Amino acid sequence: MAGGVGSRFWPLSTNSKPKQFLDILGIGKTLLQQTFERFENLCPCENIFIVTNAIYKDLVIEQLPKIKESQVLLEPSRRNTAPCIAYANYKIQQINPEAKIVVAPSDHLILKEKKFEKTIKEAFNFVDNNNVLLTLGMKPNRPETGYGYIQVSNEEKDDKFSINKVKTFTEKPDRELAKVFYESGDFYWNSGIFIWSLKTIMSSFEIHLPEINSLFSQGIPLYNTDKEEDFIKKTYSECRNVSIDYGIMEKAKNVYVFCAEFGWSDLGTWGSLYEHTKKDTDQNSIKGKNVLTYDTNKCIVNVPDEKLVVIQGLDNYIVVDAKNSLLICKKEDEQQIRQFVNDISVKKGDKYL
């Protein structure tokens, strides 16, 4: 899934070039390229599909030269993750009705690649033998408010693979509730990575999101023909905005979580990036060749190499200079960046986004 705008990474992530198309870690590869290479080790290149907004078609093809245009599924508008997955389901069904599928965002960080591969292979084995919807859960190491949480049930579990039945899903909690979740030991972060058989997820759409399933099913004779594009435009204009979590995962009875550990972060915020970058002696993470700091600690600074930047007296701040925009924000308030972006759109227009 590569269609998001990454608004919490503004001003580096913009509408024209969101974070999945950026080398956000400074390693010479974009997050999309890293994700693609990760899955190349798990399945043939021709079995990898990228679902993105139509305006990013050229970016995807430029950054992933190994794939064919037919592997890029273009959404005419953003309707969240459920329509995105429904579209991919019907495309895959045309190729292999017996397929097993892993659904993954294109902008996550995974530090332990071999452990991740092992986890996915074990997850495939589990869904091959069980009619379940499986998600990957990460053990929290802090009371994070930027992630959704999964509560596990001890009633039905597979100790061999650390797989438990899901008791509840909770969207991003406030700080007090996140602290309760963290301290209880019964909650895991929701990674947003899902594994299931095509048959199981399509059955789940029929039960829990019948109106979305009905819309996409009408295109069965049109997929992979020259009429597909017009059909998808019409379908998305009629399709409601709903996430796979809310639409299916929170309602289905056959949802399980694989409690795994492979150095995961969704890199959803500047603070999450800070956790995975090198720091100087004052615990500042600095990207920029001409930055001088004085009495400044635990900040993340991202500025152009050619700009001289002097920072004095900041503690736990985010400082980002990108093109025509400058962000200075407390790290603890970074969840407000999405609201800042909404306000900018209303008050200043989209040229800054």
Same domain, 335 and 238: no
- Cα–Cα distance between 31 and 23 in angstroms, integer? 6
Same domain, 164 and 230: yes
| 158 and 176 share one domain | yes
Give 145 or 279, the one with higher predicted confidence.
279
Same domain, yes or no: 235 and 305: no
Specify whether 50 is located in the same domain as 157.
Answer: yes
Residue 192, domain member (yes or no): yes
Q: Are residues 130 and 32 in the same domain?
A: yes
The residue among 206, 233, 268 that closes a domain is: 268
pLDDT at 353: 94
309: phi then psi, degrees, rounded to nearest 5: -125, 130
Strands (E), 116-274: 133-138, 149-158, 163-170, 187-197, 255-260, 264-265
R_g over Cα of the chain: 21
Long-range Cβ contacts of 36-41 (<8 Å, 24+ apart): 36/64, 36/66, 36/67, 38/110, 38/113, 38/116, 38/117, 39/102, 39/104, 41/113, 41/117
Residue that is last in its domain, among 200, 234, 268? 268
- Residue 161 in any domain: the answer is yes
In 111-269, where do the E strands start and end? Answer: 133-138, 149-158, 163-170, 187-197, 255-260, 264-265
Average pLDDT value for the chain: 94
Count how many domains the chain has: 2
pLDDT digits (tens, 9 = 90+) for 335-352: 899 999 999 999 999 999
Q: What is the tens place of the pLDDT at every residue in 39-62?
A: 999 999 999 999 999 999 999 999
Is there a single domain that holds both residue 91 and residue 214?
yes
Half-sphere exposure of 36 (CA within 13 A, CB side): 23
Same domain, residue pair 348 and 199: no
Question: Environment class of residue 269 by beta-carbon count within 10 Å: exposed (0-12), middle (13-18) or buried (19+)?
Answer: buried
Give yes or no: residues 166 and 309 share one domain: no
Structural domain for 343, as ranges: 277-352
Residue 2 included in any domain = no
